[in-house]
Structure 1
Amino acid sequence: MNKISNFTSMSEMVMENSLALHVYYDNNTVCRFVNKAVYEWFGKTPEEVIDKMTSKDLLGSLYEMNKPYVLSVLQGNNEQFERDIILPNGETRCALVNYYPNHNNGIIEGFFVDLVDITPLKSLENELLISNNMIGKQNKRLLNFANIVSHNLKSYSNNLASIVELLQEAESEEEREEMTGYLKNISDGFKTTINHLNEISKLENQITINNEVISINEYIEKSIQILKIQIVKSNAKVINLVNPELKLLINPVYMESILLNLITNAIKYKHPDRDPVIEINCIQENDKIVLSIKDNGSGIDLQRHGEDLFKIYKTFHGNKDAQGIGLFITKYQIESLGGEISVESEVNIGTTFKVYLSSKLV
């Protein structure tokens, strides 16, 4: 086997038996050395390659992508890049490729190529990016939660102190009754706020999410029964298009909460001039399960409110019953399940929420 002169016997042995691919080309890009890993990467034996194949011959369809690096290294530059390579068995691997020139007394006599499989590292990197992104979102929610606690409790504290002071200064029974009424309103509001914050706190502190096999159709029907009075009062029509045979491995408590919140919203924000029609479906889309809830309600101006849609205590329709917590909790639960939620909406036309779940079909 022909090997270049500046390889020591030890480096030859290491390169020859390494799982990484090592290649040496001369100035005409003819292969003068290659180790046994070439068979794993390109399905060629060293005997088929050495002194017989050029860089273009060996790389095939990859050559045009790598050509700029070949030209650059022949000018004396070091080049490093990543490349997806399809192996002879059809598997795709991500490789870290190093091109570096072979200098001999200031003259470039060819170049070396080292190719190392970094597929596991790239997979780990992608997992870390997803995890860091999720942690970043959760940290933002925690900061938002802390700001809400601080702001709301401070507001209640200040108002309470002011009313107590006015109550002490009241000169008539009528004034005292009025101040007492204010105190009751503050007390009711404070209780509601604490309940909301308690719900969010439970979500933030839940460590494990227990999944069960459920019929999504049955949970939709259950939600319809729970909301029966609201559906009848609003003269709403709920159309369940989900296949009764569809079963998912998912957290049932979260699933019920997600359905109740989204169906309730579709009823609450109905169009003033027509009865609500709510269409629910669930389909497989690539590697995701997509739950969609479509209504013909008032719609949302996403250009104005899109960024705030899932933020806590944000409301957009002037509805006196709106509290701005349902979508916040829904988004949190969906993301805790490893999913995402998107919205399509047009004012006076309606809204469609889509929940993308990584849950498994059973």
Structure 2
Amino acid sequence: MTTLVFVHGTGVRQAAYEQTFRIVEGFVTKQRPDITVVPCCWGEQFGSKLNAQGVSIPLYDATLALDQGEEEEQEIILWQQLYQNPLYELGLLSLQPSANADSNPFGEQRGDQLHDQLLALTPTGELQANLQAAGIAEGFDQARRHVTGSDVYQDVLNQVSDSDSDCYDTIARAIIAQAMFDCQQNSQNPIILPNPELRDQLVKSLSDALGKEEDLGLGDWLKQPLSLLASPATALVRSKRGAITEANTPTPGDIILYQSRGQQIRDFIQKTIEDAEPPVVILAHSLGGIACVDLLVTQPMAQVTLLITVGSQAPFLYEINALYSLEFGQPLPDFFPEWLNIYDLRDFLSYIGANLFPNKVQDVLVDSKQPFPQAHSAYWTNPATWKAIIPRLP
């Protein structure tokens, strides 16, 4: 009598496994009542967990006040936006009411003066030294041209007043952020990228060179939109970091744990197979598929006649030479069983193996009609999955 061993993937623990196991068992026994479905839940015993109750997590047992270091937090959120869109802050400033509505329209405007200063600026002294130290001296002119040629920059210039100090830092941050952005687009990694102190020092040097007289910090016009950005993200994660880490550790933690100490997981799977009545079919999902491939490459198991991987990353790990059991370029051993690999184009954690192992792997495409990441767990209720599996069971 054939035995089907069901091996789960990353992040799964007993309660969730039992629910999925019932679904798998139901689909199999309905069409093949002669087959015994055997559980292989390695996650409960060997999966990752916070072994010291989270003592490595800062303030694990505490709740951070949301206003603790509020301006520093807002600056972090601001740069998060600037890294993606260097003109972000200029765009916000351009939407503010004009402060020079009563100025002489026929005289030279403060914005014109600031623009002339910026175009005429030749970095020297502290500014040039900081640009060189940051690794963006060569890209400064290009970044300046990009910013000064933008519509939002012109809008900001049109509303600059003599008492307006916000625009100096805003323009300086835009230019520095643009220079950093350009470097990344060109696959360059200047020293400024991971160095916020150098970045902020460079912004100050540029602001001072443009004639900024005092530092008032972030303006109120900027703090409100930044607080809206911070509320659902940084502040929440900071205040609930312990709970979030504890809840989300199993999924990435199992992957990391397997790569470093996967033998105990493979031993558990091997013992389950050895205790099962042959012939044995292994049905393995995600990380479970990786573990089973590693096991069957390193350990001949004649009782296993078919390996079925679903949503598996084993082919990808092999291609990048990260599969534990097999270096890239080496073939699967002759004793490796028949391999059926099921994937879904919307499951970005599923990969194909036939191109890497010709005549050894059969890839079957299914469509769960689910978005990612739901697609990664949607195989078991998809009739196409079982249409591919059932006819191949011995």
TM-score normalised over the length of structure 1: 0.29
Question: Which structure has the greater CA radius of gyration?
Answer: 1
TM-score normalised over the length of structure 2: 0.28
Between structures 1 and 2, the one with greater strand share: 1
The answer to which structure, 1 or 2, has the higher relative contact order (CA under 8 A, 6+ apart) is 2
